[in-house]
């Protein structure tokens, strides 16, 4: 049986609403305080505060430390979608991912505030950021 491939490249939106916004950051050469790379409890508290400050709504969260000298991976589930974060202290690298939908209101500026605050937290010397409009 042949494999079907779904191509939405030219598919029209079903409703005339604002697209969701997906912000992605690869933060190289972070020059932040070391606890911001290792301390899962600090990172979780800080992310939750930044979510609130941006005007978004946290529903649940999990942050997992990878032991002595290891980084942290974490996620905040938002009513508007999600925030994920991963640290690699040994490489001075952090990756962040903020996605919001705009089902009932425009959350794009809130997502940008959260994303910018996270970049500021990690003070990368060489950030690569991407902004993608999503359905």
Q: Could you give the residue numbers annotated as active site?
A: 81, 86, 101
Q: Using alpha carbons, list the distances in angstroms from residue 113 to 52, 74, 107.
A: 11, 19, 10
CA pseudo-torsion sign 33, 34, 36, 41: negative
Helix segments in 1-135, DSSP class H = 35-38, 40-54, 108-122
């Amino acid at each position: 049986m042949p494999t079907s491939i779904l191509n939405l490249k030219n598919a029209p939106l079903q409703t005339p609403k604002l697209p969701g916004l997906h912000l992605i950051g690869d933060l190289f050469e972070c020059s932040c305080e070391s606890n911001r790379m290792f301390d899962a409890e600090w990172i979780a508290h800080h992310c939750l505060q930044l979510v609130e400050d941006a005007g978004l709504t946290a529903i649940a969260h999990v942050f997992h430390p990878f032991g002595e000298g290891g980084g942290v991976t974490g996620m905040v589930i938002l009513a508007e979608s999600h925030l994920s974060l991963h640290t690699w202290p040994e490489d001075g690298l952090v990756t962040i991912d903020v996605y919001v939908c705009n089902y009932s209101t425009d959350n794009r500026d809130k997502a940008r505030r959260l994303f910018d605050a996270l970049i500021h937290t990690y003070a990368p010397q060489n950030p690569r950021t991407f902004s993608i409009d999503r359905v």
